[in-house]
Structure 1
């Protein structure tokens, strides 16, 4: 039996500390809550979702040499991800504290060691048997990790390996600017923004127009519209797919990462584009049906 091709994911691995108060928050005093650790970070989420879907994933990331870093690497290995993770002796593992209320959530972020991923962390063997390289946009948006993201894309291009990039987050995209971000990308790359990110990058309000514009510039784009499904374009053709209906949806966090993982898993398996889109939407639907991207 042929082994699945490997998708290499480059970027962030963080611990999510999810806090759910069981009563009204008591300022200056104790509030009963449930508190759980979860593996997180956009790149780690994509890698683990690929493994969850039966694919092979290798994660290149940086964590601290601490309990949280051990928790992350153990979790990744346990779930089938080959973790090429550097342990930083001087910085703590990146952590996100999510304060979850009935209708919203507040995120407190310390990117820690993940904010210092460098080209030297892409160590020997990181590109072995790779069929695809996926770069988290966070690696390009931060000046401290940009060199690593650019190096990963350059090495993949030199090896003739396809590349995809997730723009990651609307706010830092606005700060850096669309042109500055897009000029960092290789001549042909699969871009996987959500609708807000696509609008920022294309300068168009209509999502389909934004997809067509970005597809023409990068060669291919997949825009996630949440419950509205996806729009795919190569600049000439525009395809639309509806989201998979989910009964009793629990949490949309991590659905975008699962969507990308579903597409890439199907792509490296050699499936046609229509199947890739369908598999991406099925994976996103599964993610919406569970609380948070991942437990343990």
Structure 2
């Protein structure tokens, strides 16, 4: 990392090209598609960058047009990709998004054995991790391959030893692995996490004895497994945070017209972590997280709708604190 300024947030994971149908109906010859790209960790890096903090992303893309598009897009958003790898041995992954009906999306992934899944511990820039204030990982990357899993496990253990705040979004994907396997693997990450993000179904991977309709209890139970903060994302119902001192903070969602729900959770995380980097208290972290999520769902695409600081006032009228 010599000669480079440290990034406040460092993240690692998979990014892939996206071909998204622009009109409702089954995919068929002549279906109009919009080309773009996406990735959970990359979305968080973009969100944090747009909100005024430096961010870096590590991952692998293919030595192809899709990979070049992804890296150029991240650079354009101010995200440092100097530690990313272009893999000549595997192409960039692909996501197909079909608008099967006007209000139902259907997603297909082509990622097994492709560039994003070939991440290894050797790809990590340890000096960059120790220079960061926050390391952010998700439960998607460990599901991609044994080497990607090892990379995440090495990153969180290395960051924790260096005193870097570790953020972990469970982000369970049932198409990638079973709940039983996910619970076994991801439970190993919890003791390294300072902050864990989850939905009720994801939290149930680790605290199956707590009813999902009691999110406050679920969040408190998660803090007893290691994280100092457990953030439960409740969708349209808002979110809540339990802290290690048993405090509970609740935040309603910001009411907006939802256009595309994909990426809302990652947008929420980016707002929370940006406010953490601001030095804001938990209540303000939840506020910025809720605003970021509301902006994201109001625009088609995973990350395109993420807000900049100057835009936050656009939803001020809807941001009603209860």
Q: Separation in 1 of the partners of 2:183 and 2:130?
A: 32
Q: Separation in 2 of the partners of 1:89 and 1:293?
A: 27
Residue of structure 1 in register with 2:205 after alignment = 200
TM-score with structure 2 setting the length: 0.83
Q: Which runs of 4+ in 1 moved over 4 A?
A: none
Residue of structure 2 in register with 1:129 after alignment = 131
In 2 relative to 1, CA 177–4 (structure 1 residues): closer, same or farther, beyond 3 Å? Answer: closer
Q: Separation in 1 of the partners of 2:235 and 2:50?
A: 21
Tell me whether 1:218 sits opposite 2:226 in the alignment: yes
Residue of structure 2 in register with 1:190 after alignment = 195
Residue of structure 1 in register with 2:319 after alignment = none
Structure 2 counterpart SS, 1:186: helix
Q: Is the 8 A contact 2:249 2:283 kept in 1?
A: no
- Matching residue within 249, 254, 260 for 1:239: 249
Q: Separation in 2 of the partners of 1:215 and 1:177?
A: 19
C-alpha offsets along residues 190-244 of structure 1, whole Å, 9 cap, x if unaligned? Answer: 1111222112332132322211111221222111111110021125222211011
Q: Separation in 2 of the partners of 1:123 and 1:55?
A: 19
Residue of structure 1 in register with 2:313 after alignment = none
Structure 2 counterpart SS, 1:127: helix
In 2 relative to 1, CA 25–166 (structure 1 residues): closer, same or farther, beyond 3 Å? Answer: closer
Structure 1 counterpart SS, 2:232: strand
Q: Is the 8 A contact 2:7 2:128 kept in 1?
A: no
Q: Is the 8 A contact 2:156 2:189 kept in 1?
A: no
Tell me whether 1:15 sits opposite 2:14 in the alignment: no
Residue of structure 2 in register with 1:110 after alignment = 110
Tell me whether 1:264 sits opposite 2:267 in the alignment: no
1:27-106 equivalent positions in 2, closer than 5 A? 30=29, 32-83=30-81, 84-101=83-100, 102-106=102-106
Q: Is the 8 A contact 2:139 2:186 kept in 1?
A: no
In 2 relative to 1, CA 132–36 (structure 1 residues): closer, same or farther, beyond 3 Å? Answer: same
How far the C-alpha of 1:159 sits from its partner, in A, is: 1.2
- Matching residue within 159, 181, 185 for 1:156: 159
Residue of structure 1 in register with 2:149 after alignment = 146
Residue of structure 1 in register with 2:315 after alignment = none
Structure 2: 5+ residue runs without aligned partners? 306-322
How far the C-alpha of 1:125 sits from its partner, in A, is: 4.4
Count of aligned residue pairs for this structure pair: 289
More divergent stretch after superposition (60-69 vs 234-243)? 234-243
TM-score with structure 1 setting the length: 0.90
Structure 1: 5+ residue runs without aligned partners? none
- Matching residue within 249, 260, 267 for 1:251: 260
Q: Is the 8 A contact 1:136 1:167 kept in 2?
A: yes
Q: Is the 8 A contact 2:166 2:192 kept in 1?
A: no
More divergent stretch after superposition (153-162 vs 167-176)? 167-176
**RMSD in angstroms over aligned alpha carbons?**
2.2
Structure 1 counterpart SS, 2:225: helix
Residue of structure 1 in register with 2:217 after alignment = 209
How far the C-alpha of 1:20 sits from its partner, in A, is: 3.2
Q: Is the 8 A contact 1:191 1:218 kept in 2?
A: no
